[in-house]
Structure formats: C-alpha cells, structure tokens
C-alpha cells in the first residue's frame, strides 16, 4: 500500500543511519521499525474503578458547606469568637 507519512527530523536521521548501517532501503527500514514498534506494544492494564470514600468532616452545628463564601464568613466569625 502506498501512503504519505510526515516523519520528524530526528526519526528520519535515525532511519537513514539504520539504512547506512544495514544496507536496507528506506522503505524496508521504515517497515521494520513500525513492525517492531507495533509488536512491542503492551496491552493496557485494566484499572480498578476509582471509588470515593466518604469522610465525616465533623463540622460544628450550623456550618453549611454549600456556599464557599458563606462558609469562609462563618469560619472567620468562629475564629474571632474563639480568640476572645
């Protein structure tokens, strides 16, 4: 099959070096490199599903965490009352 592939400069240099060292044609060097690359691929590991573990934050009564701005205000008030 004939196709057009754009190779990066470093890959072309390595392939040309391989051609000089082995006497193979550029086409044969590319095919060999692709075969080696494809045959050495390892199948992807099946990852375990990610599970979130719930954690009791043990917040003081009356503290809501739905609104971050309100939460910060409440915590500031608690800090000021604790400092007294």
- Alpha-carbon gap, residue 52 to 27, rounded angstroms: 51
pLDDT band at 84 (very low <50, low <70, confident <90, very high): low
**Over 90: is that where the pLDDT of 68 sits?**
no
Cβ-contact 37, 14 below 8 angstroms = no
User: Would you tell me how many other CB atoms lie within 10 Å of the CB of residue 19?
Assistant: 16
Show me where the domains of the chain are located.
9-39
- Alpha-carbon gap, residue 78 to 63, rounded angstroms: 10
**Over 90: is that where the pLDDT of 35 sits?**
yes
- Alpha-carbon gap, residue 10 to 73, rounded angstroms: 57
pTM, full prediction: 0.48
């Amino acid at each position: 099959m004939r196709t057009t592939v754009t190779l990066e400069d470093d890959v072309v240099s390595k392939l040309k070096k391989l051609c000089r060292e082995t006497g193979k044609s550029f086409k044969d060097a590319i095919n060999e490199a692709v075969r080696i690359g494809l045959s050495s691929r390892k199948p992807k590991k099946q990852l375990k599903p990610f599970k979130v573990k719930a954690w009791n934050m043990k917040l003081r009564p009356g503290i809501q965490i739905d609104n971050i701005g309100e939460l910060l205000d409440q915590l500031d008030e608690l800090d000021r009352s604790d400092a007294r």
